[in-house]
Amino acid sequence: MRLSKFISTSGYASRREADVLIQKGTVIVNNSICTDFSTEVTNEDEVIVENTLLTLSSPRLWMINKPKGFLCTSKDPMGRKTIYELIPDRIPRVISVGRLDLNSEGLLLLTNNGELSRFFELPKNKVERCYLVEILGSLNSKKISLLEKGLNVGGLNYGPIKVKVRKKTKQKFTLELKLQEGKNREIRNIASYFDWKVIRLKRTKYGDYTLGNLKERELVEVKIPELFTYSTR
């Protein structure tokens, strides 16, 4: 398989991040620095990234109930807390499936396999995410209609969102939002467009995986999707 896919499949980084690592010259293949994206490697080759020897293993998947105040990144230059502080040492190196921003909470999937992460995130696979969003502001049928049809915010096109009003008072309301794209800060950007202030944003479901009664910071291993096919080629 191509070098970037090998790095991604090992769980060290996403496919896009792997390309950056190769470009920066931080990848060593069989004792030589490799900056060629087209390089083909197998599990028999020695691939080292940032002094870490990579190997391929069977894909695994975990769910964690992420609290607010943690970033979905391995390093933060500002020294803020990251989700990796919540992961026990017994768990192998993992990457997150998508992200929840610092002030968002709820269901986060983790995997040791970048291709599995990619499977969840690819728009063509139409994996639905469900969020509960508590909002301060005004709600009307026109705004709901825009959400359901899809809209353009700041030059970005957001696809249709399924909307259910869970609770509503004069100044505050709670929406259940179901979407398939999961673009960066999508819900918060749309909320800002509508002049809404997000009080709480919680992901409750990702595909077939549901937060349920999982306690805050609790982590459990789950089965990988049946539709995901794994290859080391």
Which residues does 31 contact at the CB level (< 8 Å), separation at least 6?
46
In terms of Cα–Cα distance, which of 212, 191, 190, 193 is closest to 203? Answer: 212
In terms of Cα–Cα distance, which of 108, 208, 130, 212 is closest to 175? Answer: 130
Residue with tokens 């080391």: 232
CB 67 within 8 Å of CB 85 = no
For 220, the token pair is: 């459990």
Catalytic residue, chosen from 19, 36, 76, 101, is 101
101 is catalytic: yes
For 25, the token pair is: 């010259």
Spatial distance between the Cα atoms of 18 and 12, rounded to a whole number of angstroms: 8
In terms of Cα–Cα distance, which of 94, 134, 68 is closest to 11? Answer: 94
According to DSSP, residue 155 is labeled: T
- State the angle between helix axes of 15-23 and 114-121 in degrees (0 to 180), rounded to the nearest 10: 130
Cα distances from 19 to residues 2, 16, 180, in angstroms, run 11, 5, 25
Residue with tokens 């982590």: 219
Active site residues: 101
